[in-house]
């Protein structure tokens, strides 16, 4: 399975938020807090997780989901891309 690069993930996340009317003026970087900077709210989290599942080609189990795991693109990369290297 080919892993997405961190830069490519940043580009994809920026595209998601631009498509949804956020992020045009303030591009997202690896350490941008998506919650504190109002990119994510309670209504958009579900759509964002579904988007991440498509981009990462993997399921994000609701039982294992923590909001901090998607707080920044860096956290997403650590929790769902690099973590997949450690799965059997």
What integer pLDDT is reported at residue 2 of this predicted model? 67
Widest CA span in the chain = 41
Q: Indicate the pTM of the whole model.
A: 0.89
Residues whose CB falls within 8 Å of the CB of residue 47, separated by 6 or more in sequence, listed in order: 20
- C-alpha 3/C-alpha 41 separation (Å) is 28
What integer pLDDT is reported at residue 25 of this predicted model? 77
For the chain, give every domain's residue range.
Answer: 6-85
What integer pLDDT is reported at residue 63 of this predicted model? 78
62 secondary structure, DSSP code: G
What integer pLDDT is reported at residue 65 of this predicted model? 79
Per-residue pLDDT of the chain in tens (88 residues, 90 and over written 9): 568 999 999 999 999 999 998 877 788 999 999 999 999 998 899 999 999 999 999 998 887 779 999 999 999 999 999 987 776 5
Span 6-85 CATH architecture:
Orthogonal Bundle (1.10)
């Amino acid at each position: 399975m080919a892993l997405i690069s961190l830069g490519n993930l940043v580009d994809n996340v920026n595209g998601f938020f631009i498509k949804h009317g956020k992020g045009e003026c303030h591009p997202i970087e690896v350490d941008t807090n998506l919650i504190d900077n109002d990119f994510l709210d309670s209504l958009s989290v579900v759509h964002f997780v579904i988007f991440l599942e498509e981009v990462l080609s993997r399921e994000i189990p609701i039982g294992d989901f923590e909001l901090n795991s998607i707080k920044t693109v860096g956290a997403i990369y650590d929790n769902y891309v690099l973590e997949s290297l450690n799965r059997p």
